[in-house]
Amino acid sequence: MHITRTGLALVFLLSLTVGAQPLPDSLQISEAWIREAPPNAMALAGYMTVNNRGTEDRQLVAVSSIDFKRIELHRSMLVEGVARMIPQERMPIPAAGHLELKPGDYHLMLMHPRRSLKVGEEVKAILSFDNDQQLTAVFTVKKSQGSAHQHHHHH
């Protein structure tokens, strides 16, 4: 059998792509929602689940949306008996696992909304991950579920 240089190069390149990084769809977003807030609220909270079907740990590093001036990654934690929101530079997503953003834990702080959001409306956001992958998530605005889920905004 005679293989040309071009054919050998092609086989080499194909072998690199077969064993490379997990497929881009190894990360999937589900249950993305934003808590309804009063019309003049300066910050809203966003939640979702990020499923990692890949074989490598991943990290959420940024989120952006045209509907907000900026979006920050936060985690609510008890510090000396007081609930505090602690800014996060990244959020871990274990291989073959998930990251759950929920009230009282990891969440998004959606700062300075550019429009008033009502129950049922949708907001698109771009999620950026540590491997330069980006995904679009669609968040649905939902009614607040009472004072048990309210955030304490102490920094």
37/146: higher pLDDT: 37
Residue 72 φ/ψ, nearest 5 degrees: -110, 150
| Residue-averaged pLDDT of the chain | 85
Q: Does domain 22-145 fall into CATH 2.60.120.380?
A: no
> What SS3 state is found at 99?
strand
Pairing of strands 58-64, 68-79: unpaired
Tell me the whole-structure pTM to 2 decimals: 0.77
Report the percentage of the chain scoring pLDDT > 70.
77
Enumerate the domain spans of the chain.
22-145
**Residue 47: pLDDT band by 50, 70, 90 thresholds?**
very high
pLDDT surpasses 90 at 3: no
CA distances to 17, 24, 107, 132 from 13, rounded to whole Å, are 7, 19, 40, 21
Q: What is the DSSP letter of 22?
A: P
Chain Cα centroid distance, residue 145: 22
55 pLDDT exceeds 90?
Answer: yes
